[in-house]
Amino acid sequence: MNHRLHDLGQRLRSGETSAEALADEALAAAGAPDGEGGRVFISLYTDKARAMARASDMLRKAGIVRSPLEGIPISIKDLFDVAGETTRAGSVALDDAPAAARDATVVSRLVAAGAVLIGRTNMTEFAFSGLGLNPHYGTPLNPYDRAGRRIPGGSSSGAAVSVTDGMAAAAVGTDTGGSVRIPAALCGLVGFKPTAARVPQDGTLPLSHSLDSIGPIACSVACCALLDSVLADTPFDMPEAPPLPGLRLAVPTTLVLDGMDKTVAATFRSALDRLSQAGVRITELAVPEFAALAAINAKGGFAAAEAWHWHRALIEKAGSRYDPRVLMRICRGADITAADYLDLLAARAAWIAAVERRMEPFDALVMPTVPVVAPRIADLEDDAAFGATNLLILRNPTLINFLDGCALSIPCHAAGEAPVGLMLAGKRGSDRRIIASGLAVEAALAAAA
């Protein structure tokens, strides 16, 4: 099932397969007794997916193809409203919440495009961690090292594993501090975080409305571009990859290369060497604003302040049902004053302006998505280790959310090696430029592998 969306579309058009057959394959993978499906899905749409697939096949026979996603199985994160269902956000604290009255806009767009929804994927509770651990529904294991029981990355943990394990051809997740790009990087997939305003967020349970965005996880940059076009309701024309000679990439020397393990350091350096040999102009760039972000967010930042605003009534009612590690992070927001929040807004505006000026001469920033390979779950049982690892894994992606930018995570490791993601990032509104650059970078890395 790990086919490119384009390949699946060709197979459907030629009659080699059907939407119902693809749905059956995905559901079989999700239901395999020795597989990860029980930890990947919070709700599996067994009957609904087959009904959607049969409807897609009937429309295709009548000559009606609603989009390039027609008949293709897609998973959705458990943050999106689906009419008649309770949105739990990976928690049990919302078990008694009323069912959604209508679909989230992104769900409506997927359905209108003819995608076959396979189910709602597991996640870090309320999306508040980059590791992907969930004490309520279990933690899907990273496909790279199941025996070692490594994390999948989060918060869109089930989303990534649904794709690696053939339970969906692609997935839709959210990204507040890397929650699409981190699991993509750690699981060897491509993840795209768009400019936040690009995809409507109504009907999506928020973490931080200042930082949240909605994006795809898939097997290639082209797959992410196609799914993004549906989510953003833009034309399906694929951006043209620019020539590699002359592509200008800046490697920040501030913060983002700190703390790399040996595998990530060697893999990232090798990727840069391959791109340079292909003609890409790579420049090192000091970005002192990156080092200042920790101080700006010292009191918890937008995530803590805005999460506390949303959760405070629910915590009073059902706080004992929260994952304690998530609850602790949300409750930091209780001490953030209105003046602190206004200071944060002003600091962000100045920070964005300064970083964008430094980025101006370049097509994109390039950095490791995550500075370490996926750690073992057993190594995160201690709260101190959990906290330090979570901050390290979130560090680089979070910079781009604070920038209100867009970014791709692209695999840059050799086959059989631990997955490592290379992140291409641009300023807000440069989504198509980043996707186009990503197509070129992806091709160069594949050619040199």
In total, the chain counts a number of residues equal to 449
Question: What is the sign, positive or negative, of the torsion defined by CA atoms of 221, 224, 230, 232?
Answer: negative
Helix axes 288-296, 383-403, angle to 10 degrees: 120
Residue tagged active-site, from 155, 208, 229, 409: 155
The reply to whether 61 belongs to the active site is no
The reply to whether 155 belongs to the active site is yes
Q: What is the dihedral of CA 333, 337, 343, 347, to 10 degrees?
A: 0
Residue tagged active-site, from 56, 75, 179, 437: 179
The reply to whether 299 belongs to the active site is no
Residue tagged active-site, from 18, 56, 75, 77: 77
At 271, list the tokens: 């990727």
Active site residues per annotation: 77, 155, 179
